[in-house]
Amino acid sequence: MLVFLLRRLAQSVFVLIAMMIVVFFGVYMIGNPVDILISPDATPLEVEETMARFGFDQPVHIQFLKFIGNALQGDLGRSFVHGEPAVQLILSYMPATLELALLGLIFSVMIGVPLGVYAGYKADRWQGRAIMTGSIFGFSLPNFWVGMLLILIFAVELRWLPSTGRGETVEVLGMRLSIFSADGLQYMILPALTLALYKASLVTRLARAGTQEALMQDYVKFARAKGLSETRILVVHVLKNIMIPIITVLGLELGSMIAFAVVTETVFAWPGMGKLLIDSITTLDRPVIVAYLMLTVIIFIIINFTVDVIYTLLDPRVRVRGEAT
């Protein structure tokens, strides 16, 4: 198992290094933030002084080596706009994104698992087909359109829920969170539902496939022979066995929910990392863009590595296959 974990760790390090190269040349080589940082009426001397202060006048390879050296020390530069370390700035916005992604994940399970189990149980009837047809819309509809539709219905027409902002927050372990506040939770419902729609469709399809497979197993036939009700069979026997692959996939999907919450946060003016990224792109705040991308990559790597470890502990066959390759 040690060899398997070391191989996964080496792969993670390789991915991190590759992404550092891609991020540098993809962000630092596009545009010139000096044009935004100084006045249009600035003299050529002032432009040169600003270029020198931020190191933009140095050759590309020197900038890259400095970027790598500082990144290894956890320094991804200071925000041009906010004037504070980019990593610290991103971390201050991270709790809002994390709690939104977590609530979206919970909604996707609450919606997707019951619908998927029912669709698998009624696979050959109109109810199952209707649920699977509905899941196609979940995959197809763009997040910004769904968000605006929810705002129109629940905030503008019905006036049940607020449309934008974060609401009241509560300090927990040094972080300001909305999920533990009744007022803040109201502000989270619409963006979390928007974020959960695609994942709920994915969970529905996974649960349906797992339910259909589980219903053909001997333990389900034995449970029916004992006279157990269909509800008890589905809840106790089927649901327990289909949750392992669903949890595995959702563990991986959590990273994508955090990374791709940009559109949802922008639509609902949710003050998370995604909205900060959009604002930073508008102002060409390179250090913040780089910090967001690198932290996102690190989150993906940690989640994937953790899922690999847990799955290896639960299923030794994965370890055996990994050592054989």
Is the same domain home to 289 and 226? no
User: What DSSP element (H or E) covers 177?
Assistant: strand 175-177
Contact 171, 155 (CB under 8 A): no
Do the domain assignments include residue 229?
Answer: yes
Q: In which region does residue 172 sit, left (phi positive, over 0), alpha (psi from -120 to 50) or beta (all else)?
A: beta
Domain count within the chain: 3
Do the domain assignments include residue 255?
Answer: yes
Is the same domain home to 246 and 269? yes
Residue range(s) defining the domain that contains residue 318: 1-27+284-325
Q: Residue 152 has which token pair?
A: 């129109």
Is the same domain home to 36 and 50? yes
Q: Which residue has the tokens 């780089």?
A: 290
The C-alpha atoms of residue 196 and residue 152 are separated, in whole angstroms, by: 18
The C-alpha atoms of residue 155 and residue 150 are separated, in whole angstroms, by: 7
Is the same domain home to 111 and 150? yes
Do the domain assignments include residue 314?
Answer: yes
Residues in the chain with pLDDT < 70? 1, 29-40, 311-325
The C-alpha atoms of residue 125 and residue 151 are separated, in whole angstroms, by: 34
The C-alpha atoms of residue 129 and residue 206 are separated, in whole angstroms, by: 15
Is the same domain home to 173 and 320? no
Report angle CA 298, 303, 304 to the nearest 5 degrees: 100
Do the domain assignments include residue 193?
Answer: yes
The C-alpha atoms of residue 186 and residue 266 are separated, in whole angstroms, by: 18
Q: Which residue has the tokens 């709690």?
A: 99
DSSP code, position 178: S
The model's pTM is 0.79
Do the domain assignments include residue 3?
Answer: yes
Do the domain assignments include residue 86?
Answer: no
**44: Cβ–Cβ under 8 A, 6 or more apart, which residues?**
none
* CATH code of the domain in which 276 resides: 1.10.3720.10
pLDDT for 246: 82
Is the same domain home to 290 and 190? no
Is the same domain home to 321 and 264? no
Nearest Cα to Cα of residue 100 among 181, 198, 194: 194
Is the same domain home to 278 and 288? no
Do the domain assignments include residue 90?
Answer: no
Contact 73, 272 (CB under 8 A): no
The string over 245-267, giving b where at least 16 C-beta atoms fall within 10 Å of a residue's C-beta and e elsewhere, is ebebebbebbbbbbbebbbbbbb
Do the domain assignments include residue 91?
Answer: no
Name the amino acid, one letter, at 162.
P
Domain boundary among 41, 73, 105: 73
Mean pLDDT, the chain, as a whole number?
82
Is the same domain home to 173 and 127? yes
Is the same domain home to 68 and 137? no
Is the same domain home to 272 and 317? no
Q: Residue 166 has which token pair?
A: 């974060």
Is the same domain home to 194 and 55? no
